[in-house]
Structure formats: C-alpha cells, structure tokens
Amino acid sequence: MEPQVAIIGAGPCGLMAAEHLAKAGLRVTVYDRMASPARKFLIAGRGGLNLTHSEPLQTFLTRYGEAADWLAPAIHAFPPDALRAWCASLGEPTFVGSSGRVFPQQMKAVQLLRAWLKRLESLGVQYAPRHSWQGWQQGALHFTNVHGQDVLVRPHATLLALGGASWPRLGSDGGWVLIMQAAGVQVASLRPANMGMQVEWSEHMRTRFAGTPLKPLAVTHAGVRRQGEAILTAQGIEGGVIYALSAALRRAIETSGSAEVLLDLRPDMSLSDMTKKLSRPRGNRSLGGFLRACGYSPLAISLLYECVPAAQLAHATPAELAQHFKALPLTLSGICGLERAISSAGGIMRSELNEQWMLRALPGTFAAGEMLDWEAPTGGYLLQACFSTAIAAAHSIQDYVHNQY
C-alpha cells in the first residue's frame, strides 16, 4: 500500500519525524539510498555521541548565529531536556560532561539506534533501503532501487531529510541540490563546516608532527578566543578549537584567500609567569636546548621556529619569547574539504520554506535537518537542530495530511 507520508533520508532527522508521524497514526515509509539507516549518526557516536548541550536555552540558541530566530520555535518546542527525556525513554539515560555537553551514558550511538529502530518497527514504520531518490516523474517521487529499477511513489506528503554533504561516503552527498534547483528551490551552496584548516607546513613539521595533538591550546581569530584541543595534520590543523572558529575562518579565507590565527601554546600560564620562567640564565645552551630545559615540548619549539622568523628569535628577550608562545601567528592557507568536515554550511534557503517547514514551490513537500541553510559549531547543536526541526516538520505534516483528507 502507498505510504501516506514518504520520508527520504534515514538519518536522525528522518527517523525522528517517522516516529512522530507513526505515533500520530500515519502510514510512513522511510527511504534511503544506503543499505542501513543512520550511517552518519553511527559515525558521530564513534568518538562520543554529543547529543545536545546543557547551557541555558538563550545561550544555546545564539550558537546558530543568523539562523537562531528561524530555528528558535522548533528548539523551544523540542528543547535539549526533551531530547534527553526521549533518549531515556529508549533505555539510554544521558549525562552532562565537564564542558556542559550531553552524551548518552553508553557514549556510543549504536545501542540508542538499535532501541530506536525497534521502536520504529513496532510503530509500523516501513523502511526502504537502497532506494536512491532521483526527483519526480509524472508527479510521483522517483527512486531507483538496488536492481536499477524505477520505483514511483505517490504519498500524501513528503519529508526531505537528505542531510548535508560532509562525509559523502556515508550517504549524504548533496546530490539533492540539483533536484531542488531544477524544481525552482533556491539553495545556498554546500560548504564545509566544522572542518580542518590547511597550513603550508615545512617538510620538517609535516613529517615529524603530523598526527600530534596540541593540548591545551587557545586560538584567537579576529579578537575571538577559543580554548580546547587540536591536532596537527599533514595538510594543516584540525580539532575542536579550530571547528569552534571555523565559520569565521571560512569567511575570512573566502574573502582574502587566507586567515591569521594566534596560537596560545600555554593557555594555562600567564604571560608574566612565563616571562619569569624564561628569564633563567641560558648559559651557553642553544635556544632550542634552553627551551627544552624550560619544559617546552619539541612540537612547541618547532612551531616557534615555524611561525617566527629566525632573525627575530636570535636576540629575543624572555618577555618577547613568552609573548611568542602566548600569541604565535599562524597563517591558514585554505579550508579542508567536505570529505572530512563534521558538517556542511548552506542548504535550502529559509526564504524557500513557509513557517510549517513546507517548500513554497512544492506544496506537500517539507524539509528539515542539516539540508537546511543553517550552521552551528560542534557541541551537540547539530543533532539538536536536526531533531527539533524534524519534530516541527512532522507536526506540520500531520496537520497537512489531516486537512487534505
């Protein structure tokens, strides 16, 4: 039997909408091009599934920047506490980590997903794997299945939950952009978000330090300072503290071709304490030997040589050396690609949706999740917005279907 609601995309957004619509008594089928659902959700849980954040809701909303007032009604209606309660209802209570981030007790997504899929099955949600959505044909949704056959579906309403374009091998490759544009829907181009940055490291840095963590580390860009961790890569630098600044860094690189950051390699130590430490007699030691004796790591010392001209270092006073370690200028020459970005910026523009999350150009077709034009840093803000917009869209779909028939 034809579904009343077709949901395309079995990520956290599509599955959450499916749960709500099935609970409301609607016949729902979830289509996905992959063989199994929620591949990105599972990867997201690999290093600890950061579901949401415990900070006050007003602060929480500011993380969405310009999109905050757009997403606010959906997040108010399904806030972080509701998400935590939902997790608990699946047998996975959550806890707040030291940074205020919220995780399931098991840390991973796998148990949560298993319990969730069982619930969806018991609610009668149908799942159609290996169905790749191609657009519309004769007014019907057009999929190609695993055998290359065309499948046409005519639901009463459709939810597009196709995700962004990061980690494309997990299923979300942004291929839907062309389908949307052909249907007259405006899409802001999909760009990497929460991604690594490129640095033109010397051969020495690349071969000796690729894969080495830098922690604790504080990074300042355009007067905004963030503290956390990073890791040097052969291409540049990545990790939480870089992701936290990635939207501003991307804009700077798009405008000027490169961006400057200042690295504080000892955020835990004041400038005056560091100056005091570096004021010990150097004796006849080389600068490198002296810094090693002062407790600086080989990576910190190499970064100093990499970022500050040798002539400036040769006669640097203790105060100047301390200043370098607290504000090492590093040039970022580009941004790393979508293949390894945590998320993508861009997507279906706000102007293209009405307040019910329905596409103005395509009555009966709704959209939610990461495929919409908002971005947020890591910290649980991505999944929270996907879940909240899913539920908001599901409520609208429920009304839409009931009003039609």
Ligand X SMILES: Cc1cc2nc3c(=O)[nH]c(=O)nc-3n(C[C@H](O)[C@H](O)[C@H](O)COP(=O)(O)OP(=O)(O)OC[C@H]3O[C@@H](n4cnc5c(N)ncnc54)[C@H](O)[C@@H]3O)c2cc1C
Residues that bind ligand X (CB under 6 A): 8-14, 31-34, 39-41, 43-44, 49-50, 132-133, 161-163, 166-167, 171-172, 175-176, 342-343, 369-370, 380, 382-383, 386
Q: Which residues pair with 331 in a beta bridge?
A: 260
Q: Which residues pair with 28 in a beta bridge?
A: 5
Nearest Cα residue to 165 out of 135, 187, 134: 187
Residue with smaller CB distance to ligand X, 40 or 324: 40
Residue with smaller CB distance to ligand X, 179 or 287: 179
Residue with smaller CB distance to ligand X, 127 or 133: 133
CA dihedral 97, 100, 106, 110 (to 10 degrees): -140
For residue 251, the minimal CB distance to ligand X (Å) is 20
Residue with smaller CB distance to ligand X, 13 or 263: 13
Residue with smaller CB distance to ligand X, 168 or 318: 168
Helix (H, G, I), strand (E, B) or coil at 65: helix
For residue 155, the minimal CB distance to ligand X (Å) is 15
Q: Which two tokens stand for residue 261?
A: 């950051």
Alpha carbons 187 and 71: distance in angstroms, whole number: 17
Give the H/E segment covering residue 132.
strand 132-137
Residue with smaller CB distance to ligand X, 102 or 321: 102
For residue 277, the minimal CB distance to ligand X (Å) is 37
Q: What end-to-end distance do the CA atoms of the chain give, in Å?
A: 17
Give the DSSP per-residue string, 235-287.
SEEESHHHHHTHHHHHHHHHHHS-EEEEEES-TTS-HHHHHHHTTS--TT--H
For residue 253, the minimal CB distance to ligand X (Å) is 21
For residue 46, the minimal CB distance to ligand X (Å) is 7
For residue 130, the minimal CB distance to ligand X (Å) is 9
